């Protein structure tokens, strides 16, 4: 996940009282002790899961492992769905589910040497924090709820989902929220992604990505001179597009991150391509940017197809273009008065924890874009080096993250008595 804007959060009174009552209950205190006692077990589960390969579109071994852990913990109706997501339930008395999810996938391609290891309170290795920490948090919360027998009214859905990173394009969450049962059945979503206890992601940064390809006949640089050159067409499109005016608010950005084309210095290329990333906090602005990109490309193609060739002759419609979508993450945000925000604010106030509301691209984009209540939190502890082989997670402070998640879920769920 990647973060941007911020605002500080503060509590609200009735929710505050409910959180204080919950935290004082014997069951919740027993759960907090369980977190403390089981820290070594959680660290070893985290290393175990991080040691299982989970490249994008290759999460099945990790999913099978998690389904086994869910069953061991006593979750009900444990299943792996068609997309490869792992689901397990903890029943309540009535009402919609509160889902607690963590993505299973990593950014690391199959065969990356994982070499997961521990030194003192620190765990090292690719994916150990993002999202080994999130998976460990799911197991910690499910374990504590089962062990302490905490009553709650709304039922809980534990979800290890596929496809959060990069080209996974949120496919796991997209699948869950397109399944009628869960689309209607999940009232609140809490996403756990990476380490930390100092943020609340309540706003979904939207993005749309394209591969733009320009094709022409190609030829010899000397004897075919005058044939349209796709690299020049692409350059012209980039020049038009990069002049598109952008609003400061809602913040909107674009990037051309990859340009490819051609084979040798004395050949007119047959194709050229670029990868473009469009981002905004507003879907309207993303639509507008996409329109500007298509328009810039059409103008460049038109110009080339209708320009007089430098040495005379005909060259109409020799060049074509194509725009292929390679990513689409919807934007969305919570109403500032949403119940889930009031809950996490009250929990943070109770725990004396300072957190900032942030905008990021996470699994919460999917429910947020559907107007549903969702937040993304860290799994506690601290971490660094995400998406590198030097990734680490420090277990100190995991407990704070777990308390935060548990209290938020229980405050949302209401008492089951």
Residue 162 or residue 276: which is nearer to Zn ion going by CB? 162
Residues 6+ apart with CB under 8 A from 69: 45, 139
The interface with Zn ion within residues 357-386 (CB under 5 A) comprises none
* Cα distances (Å, whole numbers) of residue 374 to 61, 182, 186, 245: 28, 14, 10, 32
Q: How far is the CB of 151 from Zn ion (least distance, A)?
A: 32
Q: How far is the CB of 54 from Zn ion (least distance, A)?
A: 11
Residue 4 or residue 415: which is nearer to Zn ion going by CB? 4
Q: How far is the CB of 216 from Zn ion (least distance, A)?
A: 41
With binding defined as CB under 5 A, does residue 130 bind Zn ion?
A: yes
Report the C-alpha gap between 79 and 88 in whole angstroms: 7
Q: Which stretch binds Zn ion (CB under 5 A): 86-94, 122-130, 203-211, 277-285?
A: 122-130
Q: How far is the CB of 194 from Zn ion (least distance, A)?
A: 5
Per-residue mark of binding to Zn ion, 71-110 (x: CB under 5 A): ----------------------------------------
Contact 166, 341 (CB under 8 A): no
* Cα distances (Å, whole numbers) of residue 1 to 164, 320, 371, 399: 9, 36, 20, 22
The torsion defined by the Cα of 42, 194, 177 and 332, in degrees rounded to 10, comes to 150
Q: How far is the CB of 268 from Zn ion (least distance, A)?
A: 44
Per-residue mark of binding to Zn ion, 159-178 (x: CB under 5 A): --------------------
Q: Which stretch binds Zn ion (CB under 5 A): 85-93, 126-134, 197-205, 290-298?
A: 126-134
Q: How far is the CB of 17 from Zn ion (least distance, A)?
A: 34
The interface with Zn ion within residues 329-358 (CB under 5 A) comprises none
Tokens of residue 288, six digits: 């507008």
Report the C-alpha gap between 140 and 120 in whole angstroms: 20
Residue 193 or residue 391: which is nearer to Zn ion going by CB? 193
Residue 89 or residue 101: which is nearer to Zn ion going by CB? 101
Tokens of residue 372, six digits: 């549903």
User: In terms of DSSP H, where are the helices of 162-259?
Assistant: 171-176, 180-185, 230-241
With binding defined as CB under 5 A, does residue 131 bind Zn ion?
A: yes
Closest CA to 325 of 242, 413, 212: 212
Report the C-alpha gap between 346 and 379 in whole angstroms: 18
- Please count the other Cβ atoms lying within 10 Å of the Cβ belonging to residue 249: 8
> Would you give the distance in Å from CA 299 to the centre of its chain?
35
Q: Phi and psi dihedrals of 404, rounded to 5?
A: -60, -45
Residue 363 or residue 394: which is nearer to Zn ion going by CB? 363
With binding defined as CB under 5 A, does residue 189 bind Zn ion?
A: no
Q: How far is the CB of 375 from Zn ion (least distance, A)?
A: 15
Report the C-alpha gap between 227 and 315 in whole angstroms: 7
- Sign of the CA dihedral with 67 first, then 202, 354, and 339 last: negative
Q: Which stretch binds Zn ion (CB under 5 A): 43-51, 69-77, 125-133, 268-276?
A: 125-133
Tokens of residue 395, six digits: 């277990």
Q: How far is the CB of 307 from Zn ion (least distance, A)?
A: 48
Q: Which stretch binds Zn ion (CB under 5 A): 128-136, 212-220, 312-320, 393-401?
A: 128-136
> Binders of Zn ion: how many residues, by CB under 5 A?
3
Residue 101 or residue 229: which is nearer to Zn ion going by CB? 101
Q: Which stretch binds Zn ion (CB under 5 A): 191-199, 214-222, 235-243, 341-349?
A: 191-199
Percent helix, strand and coil across the chain, each to the nearest 5: 35, 25, 35
Look-up: residue for tokens 């709820």? 145
Q: How far is the CB of 286 from Zn ion (least distance, A)?
A: 22
Residue 191 or residue 213: which is nearer to Zn ion going by CB? 191
Residues contributing to the site for Zn ion (CB under 5 A): 130-131, 193
């Amino acid at each position: 996940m990647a973060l941007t804007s911020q605002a500080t959060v503060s509590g609200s009174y009735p929710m505050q009282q409910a959180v204080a009552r919950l935290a004082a209950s014997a069951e919740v205190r027993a759960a907090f002790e369980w977190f403390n006692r089981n820290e070594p077990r959680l660290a070893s589960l985290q290393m175990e899961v991080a040691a299982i390969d989970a490249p994008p579109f290759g999460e099945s071994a990790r999913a099978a492992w998690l389904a086994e852990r869910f069953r061991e913990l006593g979750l009900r109706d444990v299943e792996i769905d068609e997309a490869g997501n792992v689901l397990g339930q903890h029943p309540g008395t009535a009402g919609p589910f509160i889902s607690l999810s963590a993505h299973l996938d990593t950014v690391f391609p199959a065969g990356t040497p994982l070499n997961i290891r521990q030194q003192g309170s620190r765990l090292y290795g690719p994916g150990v924090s993002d999202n080994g920490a999130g998976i460990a948090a799911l197991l910690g919360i499910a374990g504590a709820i089962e062990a302490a027998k905490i009553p709650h009214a709304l039922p809980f859905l534990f979800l290890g989902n596929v496809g959060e990173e990069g080209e996974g394009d949120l496919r796991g969450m997209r699948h869950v929220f397109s399944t009628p049962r869960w689309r209607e059945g999940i009232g609140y979503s809490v996403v756990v992604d990476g380490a930390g206890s100092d943020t609340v992601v309540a706003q979904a940064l939207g993005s749309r990505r394209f591969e733009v390809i320009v094709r022409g006949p190609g030829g010899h640089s000397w004897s075919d001179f005058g044939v349209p050159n796709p690299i020049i067409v692409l350059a012209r499109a980039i020049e038009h597009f990069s002049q598109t005016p952008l609003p400061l608010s809602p913040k909107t950005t674009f990037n051309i991150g990859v340009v490819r084309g051609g084979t040798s210095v004395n050949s007119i290329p047959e194709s050229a391509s670029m990868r473009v990333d469009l981002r905004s906090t507003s879907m309207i602005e993303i639509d507008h940017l996409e329109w500007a990109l298509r328009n810039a490309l059409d103008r460049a193609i038109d110009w080339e197809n209708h320009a007089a060739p430098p040495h005379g002759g005909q060259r109409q419609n020799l060049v074509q273009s194509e725009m292929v979508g390679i990513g689409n993450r919807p934007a969305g945000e919570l109403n500032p008065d949403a119940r889930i925000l009031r809950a996490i604010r009250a929990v943070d106030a109770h725990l004396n924890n300072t957190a900032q509301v942030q905008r990021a691209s996470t699994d919460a984009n999917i429910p947020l874009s559907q107007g549903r209540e969702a937040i993304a939190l860290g799994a506690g502890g601290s971490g660094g080096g995400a998406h590198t082989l030097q990734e680490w997670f420090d277990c100190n402070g995991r407990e704070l993250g777990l308390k935060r998640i548990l209290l938020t879920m229980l405050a949302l769920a209401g008492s089951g008595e």
